[in-house]
Amino acid sequence: MPPSDAAFVSPRGYERSNGPRDRDHAVSTTAVEVRAPYDPQVNPLSFRPATISDIPAVVALVTSAYRGEASKVGWTTEANLIDGQRIDADMLRPEIERPDSLVLLGMRDDELVACTHVSSARPGTANVGLFAVRPGLQGGGLGKQVLAEAERVARQEWAVSELELTVIDIRDELVAFYERRGFVRTGEHKHLSYGDERFGTPRVPDLRMEVMRKALV
């Protein structure tokens, strides 16, 4: 069953505290504030749904993670494959407003550091996309927390039995990451949108997205 409005319009499920955050571990000296290394096991992200006022920050986060020089700080990026934008405010707004869709923000203190988008693909299946962690914080376990939360929402709040995502099939390191999270390659491909600059400008021809699925048991 597709999620009902009540499942995600109410942010109640996201208001919980997720335990101590890294400011609790900050140590001040007279000259500088020295922060303890960020440990996501000790300092998990808190999650909340995006609102319209988050749009500029989400667009900036996603752009920095997917595209251009900034994204190359991270361990995986589309910068060598696609130029231009990944999303803009006009594309994001309906995803925040429509009922069968949740733009999920990962917050560290009051700072946006990660996001993803969970949406209804069809009855029984939710799609996960727009998956991004701030490039300088990648590789520290935040992405896994975000994916786990998306999975929890899909299973517990939307009661779907399957998650689906698409990934550019030549991004071997990312495909392997999803496989380690239980997603399976399907061999179903979708061609990238060439000529529609809202989705960016491919740098190479014939890029394909492959559908990966995970059964939620």
Ligand X SMILES: CC(C)(COP(=O)(O)OP(=O)(O)OC[C@H]1O[C@@H](n2cnc3c(N)ncnc32)[C@H](O)[C@@H]1OP(=O)(O)O)[C@@H](O)C(=O)NCCC(=O)NCCS
Q: Closest approach of Cβ 66 to ligand X, in Å? A: 5
Interface with ligand X (CB under 6 A), residue from 11, 97, 139, 197: 139
Q: Which of 25, 48, 144, 185 binds ligand X (CB under 6 A)?
A: 144
Binding to ligand X (CB under 6 A) within 170-189 occurs at 173-174, 177, 180
Our CB check for ligand X shows the closer of 57 and 159 to be: 57
| Nearest to ligand X of 7, 207 (CB atom) | 207
Number of H helices and E strands in the chain, helices first, is 6, 11
What's the CA gap between 152 and 216, in Å, rounded? 9
Q: Min. distance of Cβ 179 from ligand X in angstroms?
A: 9
* CA proximity to 153, closest of 134, 175, 127: 127
Does residue 141 touch ligand X according to CB under 6 A?
Answer: yes
CB 104 within 8 A of CB 153: yes
Going from the C-alpha of 159 to that of each of 4, 33, 146, 155, 163, the distances in angstroms are 10, 45, 18, 5, 11
Q: Which of residues 62-91 bind ligand X (CB under 6 A)?
A: 65-66, 74-77
